[in-house]
Chains A and B, each alone.
Chain A
Amino acid sequence: MGEFTVHCVRFFNYVPSGVRCISYSEETERLAVARNDGSVEVYNFPANYYQEKIIPGDEKRSTESICWVPGGRLFSGGLNGDIIEYDLERLCVKYSVNGFGGPIWNIVPSPCGTQLAVACEDGSVKLFAITPERIVFGKSLDRQKERILCLAWHPSGSHIVAGSINTIKVFNVSSGHLLQVMRMDRRALVGQKRECIVWGVAVLSCGEIASVDSSGKLQFWDLETGTLIRSYTASSSDILSIAVSPEEDSLVIGTAQGAILQFQYLERQAGKEEKQWVSTKPFQHHTRDVLSVAHSNTCLISGGLDGNIVIRPLLERIQTKTYEAALRKITFPHRNLVSCAQASRLLLFQFPDHLELWRLGHTDQSGKDGDILPVTQEHELLLQLKRKGSENIRCSCISRCGTLVSYATASRLFLHRLRYDNNNFSISKVPKFTQPPTAALHLKFSPDSKQLYVGTEGGRVHIMDLSEDTCQHNHTLQPPSGTWAASSYPVHLLATSSDGSLLAVASSNSQIDIYNVKSLSYLCSVPQYNSPPTAISIHPSNKNLVIAYADHQVVEFSISEKQYTDWGRKVIKHGLHHDWLERDTPIMGITFNPSKSKTILLHDNYMFCIIDKSLPLPDDKTVLVNQKTLKNLSVSARMSHAHAFKITRKYQPLLFMDLLDNGELVLVERTLSDIQAQLPPPMKRKQFGT
């Protein structure tokens, strides 16, 4: 049925950047994640934790702290001393304000969202008023000697608690005066570490301060008197982060050993009033330091230096104990970092600061299922292209024929032409190049490499005309007024038809528009769905658009008839298999096999699937992943057992899938152990028996 020669690519050295800080907003149910490379990601929790926005980083800025401010505004502060507000519609920095206090270690909005407290290297805590347009410096609290590393507001907004080296300080917000200084117990540290660094503080509405520090202690202090109430030695290593649930009945801490621990405020004895913080659940989902934790109403969220984001739902707070209660570990981005020149067998890998161009190998043999064929021509690295400037690469693309490579940073678009004559390979910039009017968010070459489609803010697509040595802005496709006017969402995905006549443009609010690029006219829109699309593709022959959504739905839309196809309706009516709906990661790529028009090829991180539209859809009673059983059956018996979803988990984690023009399949794998090997070494821990 589906026999492929598979290029199994494991030389994509992708290493996720470590998570520096996270912030969860109950208001919008979004998680903001800032990584060590300066990039900021926004995850949409209701939509299966889909990574809906990525703002690329910049070498010049490093993020130390990120926070949501009511109204869905996102701020961050970093070691360059700037406070940055992000533009989540244009996916870039909206503005930055210098704090004039040296590197910023922490920024925290006040409980009512009107002020932003900033912890500075010079020992000052600065308050900025948040206005609808910008932030405006308000005042500084009493300046201290030591750097301030962490901050917390009293839930009433009356006090600010600041963690520093060896001390915790309490300020009165209205007067700006220092009220209390609490000194950490350093006796235990004599000889090992001289300083006890307070890595995190939190204030409870009852007036208790919770602090975590480098001696591995979780301590509770009285805000009024400045006395230590309770102390828990929770870890033998540093405790780096703390977060308290909105109800203040549970808190979570993250340690340098990769463990997170939950403490709950529980009754000492059943039926008695008296309550106490009790260490209830330890989790070890990370291998490196957990630099940041967050506590939503229903789950614990942690981000570690190993690049993983772990969402651990709390079973006692979730009604349905099935799919929602499962642990989520997000390791890989939900967008493609790889593009493929199908005609010339090239792969373009995107890294934050460079691109790599590889040529795939060759084989002259064929075999049967499971065979590993001898490679006659080895794969080779053709090009390593360093980005220009300090900004990280946001997106990249290679043309089908492999002669054009384009990439974009937050502010600029770059286009290079590649030439291959026999064994010589050369690269040159396109000389006459005009920048598109607005920043590029998504790139796609037309199949004939004559045009470059640049997806940008507001759902618009710039069409750049390309010739041998020019690149000029030709036209901008505007979404029809009415559909986009209310809210301007950036372009999220682009798909072209193989004949180059159609262009599908998807945005993260699940608006999908289809344009005729020959006549530069709007054709139609797909009925809007309530989940963001994760992959779209247009069938080469019948021009049907296949869309995968974050809630794992797959639909087929006929562009010519401007409605869902019969098969698409059948899928919607029949419903998908529950195992399919309970997958962990979104569909990241869809492609078609031109020789078998009835099939759709798609993949997520952990499976590769061929949907055969001619076969019946599986119902919940049948086994979804049945390839192993089918393999052992006779050909006739297979027919009765086969269903439309042909899934293999042989290759995982899968980052990219595409079909070359000669029908060979390219799968890009990145094993977790390879990533582990490239991460910085974990904290050494003596394990018994080793």
Chain B
Amino acid sequence: MAALCEELTLCGVQGADGVGPQGLEAAGDGDRVLVTEAQRTVTLYKVSDQRPLGSWTVKQGQRVTCPAVYNAGTGEIVVIHDDKVLRVWKEEDVSLEKVFKTTLSAAVCRIHSLPDSETLVLFHHGAVRYLDSLLTDPRQEIENVITTEETIKWSMMFVENGQPIIMFISIKASDLYINIWRPSPGISLRYKLQPFTKNSQTLNFTASLKKNAVSLLILYSTGHVCQCLVPLVQSSDGAESLLSVSSLLQLPTPVDSGALILLDDTHLATLTPSTEKQKDILCIWNTSFQTIQDRKTFSQKTSRQLWNYDRMLFVQSRKKLHVLRYVCEPSSLASALGKASNTNADQENVPVVSWEALTGSKTKQSKFSKKASRVKQDGGDGGCQLKVSLSGIQSSSEGQISSLVRKALFSQNLPDFQITAGKLMEGLVERCNKDPAFYPQNALIDLLNTNKLSYSLCPGVMALGLEKSDVQLLQLCLRQFIDIPEMVLCSCLKMFLSISEDVLSGAELNTTSVESYIKEKEAPNLKDKPKEPAGRPMQNGFSPDSIEEGSCDVQVLKKVPHNPEACPVSRKRAVLLNTVLTAAFSENYLLPHLKDLTTDQVILFLTYLQFLYRTCCQQLTMHLPGQKKLSITEVVDWMNLLLDANFTILVLLPKARPLIRSLQKCVNQQMQLFLELNQVEGSLSELQKLQRPCESHEKYSIEVLELY
């Protein structure tokens, strides 16, 4: 999962609107960058402090032609102005006029420097020299590697096994050439890049080093991000080989300009114009799942340049240089889809590539869509079934639907049944949403019971369940889906906590798992539970309704600490809550959503968790019975999370105080117990040590020994 974190503004940028800095390079340790701007100024910034450490300007009339770089080996800054004049200086130097200067014999295109390698200079005509060798002999002959018609469009440096590699892309009459230079024994490789489509223009490049190859990513004006693997080993024939590209990602719209940069193996950032006028959008993509992980809209045009150093993205916008920190974590399918299927988020015009869209459309170029379209083209059983079922769903009655679904279930063993079931489910959900009176619960449950579905296949079904307050359906979903987003999980929890007893009593739920530790006769307690309608939030624990029932609230909460042995919820509610407790979740993502619980919900849930904990402790068991064994660690984890999320509210709320106090007492007692147990363990382990010498304590014995 990748996400953008905090944002800060590094500095203002000179020059016209939409013209970004000339270059931005890391300078030594990760926190410093070197910004070259307006063709005149080089500034060294400390990012975390947002302040410049030093700034140098060339004389009026001179022009910086190549962004300044920081030579980590020597701690010097190197810049080229007026194509051929090279200047080297240290941070301490104040004026650029007094620093070392030399004039080279050819025009320089870029200087490349990486912390663990020597600095290299790339000339306009493709020659590469070590900076050191140039400094010793500045007037040395520079050969032409590429023809004069060619111009270098982009270049990048890598280090492989301590050896530098320079890759640069040159353009000659709309033909792109990839050139690779390696120092020993002066190998240079040259490939021609096959155009992606006829009219596509390349907008930006980024590359990363793989084993024996460079993975080059290209952004095309058609909105495609394509990958090209450039081998670093010479092919047997010396001829110029043609490299083909493969599509990796499709941006929603064609773009006229844009930038992309790799964040790690699977994550990619793009900066492209938004569909709205005068706005640019920065997206972080997961390339393996083709999903957007995070995005940020800039209210004005940016310079469409992107830099990435040390987990920071640099973007220029509104005459300011912004720094965006980001995190990239290895993704699982569930977490990758989590954000994408977040339907409640602001409806930006960026269509999200989801399974839903992939299985439905033919036009997509990705491998996933190919698979999906093949399914359709095959015209196999699954495909036929699908077509029939889908057309039926939108018109048939509920009875017909269940028979339709049952028919579809016969093909369960087919390999593509999963997609069929997903489509069916989505169809049903769509119909339900259109027609509020239509709700084929049995059909939905039948489909869920196939155990083939996941949240990402049919994201609508849980929303539907929440809307219809169908606890049975939700319980089934919670049990079967392993990729439920934390927000949905939390919505389920909220509903389970606040749903009225009447609805619960009508639901068909299996309560055998909790019967052993929850006595039904305590259910009357539940009558006193807050009866506010589900889903209506209280603000700061206060709602107009609770004024009327105020006396009632106090009563309940006084009762709870008086009788800690009693279960605070009915069996059916307990079963539902247990399902939530055993569901998979990630703490970091769940925590913010838990803050949305009302105080009454928090207190009720906490009381229930405390009850579960006591039950576990009393029975000296680590697991409670049930289909999915609820373990004591899960209970404690949830208790932790709930307290973490709502601690300030709980502390301030008078009615929560008895509960918190009893919880604290309980924890203290347990700590005491474990301390004692620890001591017992210490003593017992000593006993074990003593046991061995006991065997032969006799001073003298006569034994019989036989060796075979």
Contact = CB atoms under 8 A, between A and B. Distances in A.
A373 B705 CA distance: 11
A2 B706 CA distance: 5
Contact of B699 (A11, A366, A367): A11
Contact of B703 (A8, A610, A673, A687): A8
A421 interface: no
A8 B704 contact: no
A268 to B, nearest CB: 17
A430 interface: no
Interface residues of B, number: 19
Contact of B678 (A378, A630, A689): A689
A8 B704 CA distance: 10
Of the four ranges (under 10, 10 to 19, 20 to 34, 35 or more), the interface on chain A belongs to: 35 or more
Contacts of B702: 5-8, 361, 363, 372-373, 375
Interface stretch (B442-450, B486-494, B615-623, B680-688): B680-688
A642 B708 contact: yes
B554 interface: no
Given A689-B682, A690-B686, A369 B700 contact: no
Most A CB atoms within 10 A — which of B679, B686, B699, B703? B703
B683 to A, nearest CB: 7
B563 interface: no
A366 B704 CA distance: 8
A208 B686 CA distance: 44
Contacts of A363: 702
Contacts of A9: 700
Nearest to A369: B706
B6 interface: no
A3 B703 CA distance: 11
Most A CB atoms within 10 A — which of B678, B679, B693, B702? B702
Nearest to B690: A673
Interface string A358-371: 00010100111111
A170 B120 CA distance: 55
Contacts of A630: 708
Contacts of B707: 1-3, 610, 627, 646, 648
A390 B702 CA distance: 37
A371 B700 CA distance: 14
Given A687-B682, A689-B678, A10 B705 contact: no
Nearest to B680: A689
B540 interface: no
Nearest to B698: A10
Given A11-B699, A671-B693, A671-B696, A6 B682 contact: no
B700 A689 contact: no
B696 A10 contact: yes
Contact of A6 (B686, B704, B708): B704
B708 A638 contact: yes
Contacts of A627: 707-708
Nearest to B681: A689
B701 interface: yes
Interface in A268-316: none
Interface in A616-633: 627, 630-631
Nearest to A2: B707
B513 to A, nearest CB: 38
Interface in A345-384: 361, 363, 366-373, 375, 378-379
Nearest to A375: B702
Contacts of A11: 699-700
Nearest to A676: B693
A650 B706 CA distance: 11
A688 B705 CA distance: 43
Interface in A651-690: 665, 669, 671, 673-674, 687-690
Nearest to B683: A690
A674 B698 CA distance: 12
Contact of B693 (A7, A673, A690): A673
B682 A3 contact: no
Contacts of A688: 678, 682
B705 A648 contact: yes
Nearest to B700: A379
Nearest to A367: B704
B679 A689 contact: yes
A610 B683 CA distance: 42
A642 B681 CA distance: 45
Given A11-B699, A687-B682, A690-B682, A1 B704 contact: no
Contacts of B696: 8, 10, 669, 671
Contacts of A687: 682
**Which 7 A-B pairs have CB atoms at the shortest separation, nearest pair first?**
A689-B682, A369-B706, A630-B708, A646-B707, A2-B707, A673-B693, A3-B706
19 contacts: A2-B705, A2-B706, A4-B705, A5-B702, A10-B701, A361-B702, A366-B704, A368-B704, A369-B706, A375-B700, A375-B702, A630-B708, A638-B708, A646-B708, A671-B696, A673-B693, A687-B682, A688-B682, A689-B683
Interface of B: 678-679, 681-683, 686, 693, 696, 698-708
Interface of A: 1-11, 361, 363, 366-373, 375, 378-379, 610, 627, 630-631, 638, 642, 646, 648, 650, 665, 669, 671, 673-674, 687-690
Given A1-B708, A361-B700, A669-B696, 16 more contacts: A1-B706, A2-B708, A4-B704, A5-B702, A8-B702, A10-B696, A366-B704, A372-B703, A375-B701, A627-B708, A648-B707, A688-B682, A689-B678, A689-B679, A689-B681, A690-B682
